[in-house]
Amino acid sequence: MTPDWKQTLTFVSSKPFHSMKNIFQQAVILIVSLFSAGLVEAQTINYKPLIDEIQQLQKQFVPDSRVAIFNVDLKDTLQFPLILTGKTDLPDARSQLLQLLKAKNIAFVDSLILLPSVSLGSQTWALASLSVSTLRSKPDDAAELVTQVMMGTPMKVLEQSKNWFRVQTPEHYIGWIDGSGLQRFTLEELNQWKESNRFMFNKLSGYVYDKPSKKASVVTDLVLGDLFEAGKSKRGYLKISLPDGRKGFVKRSDCISYSDWVGSQPDIEVLLDFASQMMGSPYLWGGTSAKAVDCSGFVKLLYYSQAVILARDATQQARYGEVIDHTNVNILQRGDLLFFGSSAKRISHTGVYVGKGDFIHASGRVLVSSIDPLDAKYLPSRNYVAARRVITAFDTEGITPVKNHPWYNRIK
């Protein structure tokens, strides 16, 4: 999704215009709104150069509005100073904007909000507290589902709107989460969590019980990738503590210790075994869990099972990893990412290569299809245009092992 830059100019007056004289007598407010989602052509010559320069700053700092915020409003009552408003989570972007205005000797009042908002206090971090927590495009239950996070996923909290919180995920994706889906922490508390005895749930689905028995009452469900703190084992069960403080028991054999999870070499065969176990699972736009997935969420989940964090969307995933000649099927390896679209620059779908021309993906449901036009599993609607290899590109942009991510670990 490439940002579409627009410039919107709105002239506001409190009384109707009756004459040219009245026009100049009234207080006219010029609002120049610059949004990373798109700007229209400026209608005032005086502000055009400034608008253009701010637009360039936005393109420089926020080439992808899914992972950063830099929204700027300039309000001018035709009397200096200008009033600078808006929001950004990028301190450097804010600094350069202020320097730009100062260099032009423009008098202004700086009311630009730097996120995280000071109203959050010191609790500017959070952990997802449900088996799967949903992020939306706006603070509204009816808004578009943009992504999901599994229990124990660390998030940066940016701002609050009633019981909704704008957060950023470890892959920098931004969305709004209902307050019931997270537990907020201070940085000190998050650091304590980083050093705790954590385990990852290593099955597609399961449950936490209030006693160490399958006959006990259920505390919550679990899905692949959920993280939680654990104590000692009891009769084959781990006593665990969830991010929101709930406690219970989970089968020890269904879990893997955090140290073993992040310390092991990613295993493509285990990854593909999880993929095959999800055959027939439903498609869900924005879904990233074993319950339901979209195409890129499916790919992301599979690699997360091997302690590797990928970018969220297919258009983003297609930018990262080792480039593979997609036209030569003989050099493709199991676990490679295949991309589909009208061209390599216009990606709309992705899947994971499983061998012999086949790939597994989420399209309506999780299924296996083929890139071979002569194969019965071939889908003419999926135009195969690119391939990337993840396994050879760890610790490069867009491909981060969990063990090296500072939100999960205290990096020394």
List the domain boundaries for the chain.
Answer: 6-114, 119-193, 196-263, 268-400
196-263 belongs to which CATH class? mainly beta
Q: How many CA atoms lie within 13 A of 208 on its CB side?
A: 24
- Is the separation of the CB atoms in 71 and 80 below 8 Å? no
Give, as one character, the DSSP assignment of residue 96.
Answer: H
Report the pLDDT value the prediction gives residue 79, as an integer from 0 to 100.
64
Report the pLDDT value the prediction gives residue 334, as an integer from 0 to 100.
99
Percent share of the chain, pLDDT over 70: 88
Give, as one character, the DSSP assignment of residue 283.
Answer: B
Note the CATH architecture for domain 268-400: Alpha-Beta Complex (3.90)
Report the pLDDT value the prediction gives residue 99, as an integer from 0 to 100.
96
Give, as one character, the DSSP assignment of residue 378.
Answer: B
Three-state DSSP class for residue 50 = helix
245-263 residue pLDDT tens: 999 999 999 999 999 999 9
**CATH, range 6-114:** 3.30.1340.30
| Crossing angle for the helix pair 268-277 and 295-304, to the nearest 10 degrees | 130
Least confident interval from 37-51, 138-152, 370-384: 37-51
The residue assigned the tokens 């150069």 is 49
Which stretches of 35-150 are DSSP H helices? 48-61, 91-103
Q: Which residues are catalytic?
A: 295, 349, 361
Report the pLDDT value the prediction gives residue 8, as an integer from 0 to 100.
31
Whether the pTM exceeds 0.75: the reply is yes
Q: Check for a shared fold between 119-193 and 196-263.
A: yes
119-193 belongs to which CATH class? mainly beta
Confidence of residue 11 (pLDDT cuts 50, 70, 90): very low
What stretches of 269-332 adopt beta strand conformation (E)? 288-289, 292-293, 308-310, 322-324
The secondary element (H helix, E strand) that includes residue 247 is strand 247-251
